[in-house]
């Protein structure tokens, strides 16, 4: 029979990677892959639970799939499953619930369900007790030029606002040999850029060391980056979000010597106020963070710094918010992802006193977004007239004109006019930056 499967991903890049791996499993099992908006025999929703809004979105998508085809097998997988197992087992729209560290078994579970026709079949484990990395891999991705590679899972940090350690478990690192084999296969297929991702990639390898302080001597993440740089065909290596603590002089020296490494650092901040950072249970101060930025600037020419900031965290005063504004302006980020604090049941922050009113969160979010926009323009202005290496990723029509668009090593988005009968997708070409095309795209000349 011609069986079909559809997929939807909510949440982070790790979820996206895992969905790509799951798609490959179904395709290998003979399923025809279709859009989530089409009729399918199986719907897989890779859920997110980082906020209460993400929980609601996860439920909506599961119900939407069942409504589209009441006879389909609806599968909830991932983080929301770990957080709300009992609720999902009672949900008549959901047939299978599959938690984290059991996604690799999903096709086998579907076939078993077909035979037994169990209602709300359950495959959720105590994620906190898991110590092995779940082996999954991809052979192709929805993005045809850049591949995200999951190198670790779990987090041991327990920030006061975050549910992730409870639904992803403790740190579990992927075997380096397995990572390199996957990247080698993707390189053979033509992928030029690799992005290392995970729940907390700064902890990569720490679970395999007798003494966690040895991570600063052994530097497993730096060793992995060096090994990836030796794979033929890989021309760019990027990192996902980093914790400031991993940025030591020895670490920076090692990665600065890897020619494929892109000087784009997403350094997690969350707040520029030390008192807020303390309430968040973050493991650094603003001055320590700034020291890491200054160190990176010593070794890299005009590196791009991007970050996440939460506004309206419980108890955040006007003074604390202004400390954040002053701090981000001093750092000079190329981009900031601004988030209004959202209560997450099950976290310490949800029970804190002095929850900030929504109207204040909105006002602070708008103020910080305005500052971030100016900093982004200032950073882009530094590159006017420069010749940059651009990995062309797609063709996009803007105001009736066709452009080929990609990113440089510092993740600036650059465009050039498309030329008839010239396909430069997945090629790295030299372009001279000329002027802004949109608020976030720079127009280039060849």
pLDDT of res. 210: 72
With contact defined as beta carbons under 8 Å apart, do 99 and 123 qualify?
yes
Strand 121-123 and strand 96-98: pairing?
Answer: parallel
**Taken in order 209, 210, 212, 214, is the CA torsion positive or negative?**
negative
* pLDDT bracket for residue 112 (50, 70, 90): confident
| pTM across the whole model | 0.94
* pLDDT bracket for residue 214 (50, 70, 90): low
Question: Is the predicted pLDDT of residue 216 greater than 70, yes or no?
Answer: no
For 219-259, the pLDDT digits (tens) are: 899 999 999 999 999 999 999 999 999 999 999 999 999 99
With contact defined as beta carbons under 8 Å apart, do 31 and 2 qualify?
no
* Residue in 210, 212, 150 with CA at minimum distance from that of residue 186: 150
Question: Is the predicted pLDDT of residue 297 greater than 90, yes or no?
Answer: yes
* pLDDT bracket for residue 116 (50, 70, 90): confident
Question: Is the predicted pLDDT of residue 363 greater than 90, yes or no?
Answer: yes
End-to-end, the C-alpha distance of the chain in Å comes to 51
* Residue in 61, 124, 126, 125 with CA at minimum distance from that of residue 94: 61
**Taken in order 191, 195, 198, 204, is the CA torsion positive or negative?**
positive
């Amino acid at each position: 029979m011609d069986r079909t499967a559809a997929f939807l991903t909510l949440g982070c890049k790790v979820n996206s990677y895992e969905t790509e791996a799951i798609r490959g499993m179904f395709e290998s099992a003979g399923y025809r892959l279709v859009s989530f908006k089409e009729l399918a025999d199986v719907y897989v929703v890779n859920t997110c639970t980082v906020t209460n809004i993400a929980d609601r979105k996860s439920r909506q998508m599961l119900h939407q799939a069942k409504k589209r085809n009441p006879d389909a097998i609806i599968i909830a997988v991932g983080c929301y499953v770990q957080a709300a197992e009992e609720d999902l087992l009672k949900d008549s729209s959901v047939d299978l619930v599959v938690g984290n560290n059991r996604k690799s078994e999903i096709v086998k579970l579907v076939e078993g369900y077909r035979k037994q026709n169990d209602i709300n079949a359950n495959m959720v484990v105590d994620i906190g007790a898991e110590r092995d990395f779940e082996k999954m891999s991809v052979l192709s991705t929805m993005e045809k030029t850049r591949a995200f590679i999951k190198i670790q899972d779990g987090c041991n940090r327990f920030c006061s606002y975050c549910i992730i350690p409870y639904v992803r478990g403790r740190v579990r690192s992927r075997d380096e040999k397995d990572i390199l084999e996957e990247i080698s296969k993707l390189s053979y297929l033509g992928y030029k850029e690799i992005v290392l991702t995970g729940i907390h990639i700064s902890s990569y390898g720490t679970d395999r060391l007798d003494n966690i302080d040895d991570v600063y001597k052994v530097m497993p993440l730096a060793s992995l980056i060096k090994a990836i740089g030796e794979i033929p065909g890989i021309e760019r290596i990027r990192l996902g979000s980093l914790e400031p603590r991993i940025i030591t002089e020895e670490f920076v020296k090692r990665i600065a010597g890897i020619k494929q490494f892109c000087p784009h650092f997403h350094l997690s901040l969350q707040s520029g106020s030390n008192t807020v950072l303390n309430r968040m249970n973050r493991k650094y101060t603003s001055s320590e963070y700034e020291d890491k930025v200054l160190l990176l600037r010593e070794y890299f020419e005009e590196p791009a710094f991007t970050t996440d900031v939460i506004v309206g965290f419980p108890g955040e005063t006007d003074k604390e918010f202004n400390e954040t504004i002053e701090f981000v302006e001093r750092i000079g980020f190329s981009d900031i992802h601004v988030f209004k604090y959202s209560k997450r049941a099950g976290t310490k922050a949800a029970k804190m006193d002095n929850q900030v009113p929504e109207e204040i969160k909105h006002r602070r979010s708008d103020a910080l977004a305005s500052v971030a926009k100016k900093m982004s323009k200032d950073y882009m202005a530094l590159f006017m007239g420069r010749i940059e290496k651009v990995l062309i990723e797609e063709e996009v029509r803007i105001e009736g004109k066709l452009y080929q668009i990609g990113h440089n090593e510092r993740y600036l988005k650059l465009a050039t006019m498309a030329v008839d009968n010239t396909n430069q997708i997945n090629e790295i070409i030299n372009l001279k930056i000329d002027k802004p095309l949109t608020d976030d795209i720079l127009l280039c000349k060849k």
